[in-house]
Amino acid sequence: MVGMSLLRSAAGIAARLSPLKTGNAATNLLARTIPRTEKVAVRWGHGKKMFVIKPTEYYDKRFLRLLKYYVLLTGIPVAIIVTSVNLFIGEAELVETPEGYEPEHWEYYKHPITRWISRNMFDSPVKDYEKMMAAIHIEKEKADMRLAQLEVRKHMRQRGDGPWFHIETVNKELIDTTPKATPDD
């Protein structure tokens, strides 16, 4: 017991006196001295170790992490689909329209994805054209009817011989003309 403490104190004195000597550093276990931090062998370590105080990067890193996640969530499948379509199903070739053949509306486009969208999601351009013409026709009929109504209104108000602009008057049979029937009343 006493011998141990002697050994320990001797190791401690040796460590304090010449701390850089290799044998003395191992005596930390015996000496219970705190090793000087800048003197401990550390990989990549040179210079005084600093505790850098900087503002939190948590929110910024979280934003960038979530941004990358949500962009890649649909970005990667779309990239894979488009790449595989371009590699395995190529673009169409331009040929002359054969005699007597009416191509479908999607057969006028080159890229396979455009063709697919045109076939499954859009109406044919002919149908769109006809829809627009139908809308124009309906609006034209409405405009014509409104003009005709104004014209009719003008005439009926002027001439008074039509069903509009009637002012309800009392029935002639209900008038009692007996007080003024003869000139002597």
Partner 1 sequence: MPLDFNKDAYPEPPRQTPVVDKQTALPNPALILSKLFYYSVDLPVTTFREAVDSIQAKNKSVYYHQKFRRVPDLTQCQEGDYLCYYEAEMQWRRDYKVDQEIVKVVQERMRACHQREGSSYQQNCSKEIEQFTEVSKNYQLRYGDLGAYASGRKCLMKQKERMMAAAQTQNA
User: Rule CB under 8 A: which residues touch partner 1?
Assistant: 87-90, 92-97, 103, 107-110, 112, 115, 129, 132-133, 136-137, 139-140
DSSP state of 167: P
Q: Which is nearer to partner 1, 31 or 115 (CB)?
A: 115
Q: Which is nearer to partner 1, 57 or 102 (CB)?
A: 102
Q: Which is nearer to partner 1, 68 or 127 (CB)?
A: 127
Smallest gap from Cβ 104 to partner 1, in A, equals: 10
All residues at 6 or more sequence positions from 77 whose CB lies less than 8 Å from its CB, including other chains: none
Smallest gap from Cβ 103 to partner 1, in A, equals: 5
Q: How far apart are CA 176 and CA 183, in angstroms?
A: 15
Smallest gap from Cβ 109 to partner 1, in A, equals: 6
- Asked if 167 and 157 touch (Cβ cutoff 8 Å), the reply is no
Q: Left, alpha or beta for 97 (phi > 0: left; psi -120 to 50: alpha)? A: beta
Q: Which is nearer to partner 1, 60 or 123 (CB)?
A: 123
All residues at 6 or more sequence positions from 20 whose CB lies less than 8 Å from its CB, including other chains: 39
Smallest gap from Cβ 131 to partner 1, in A, equals: 12
Token representation of residue 30:
């015996």
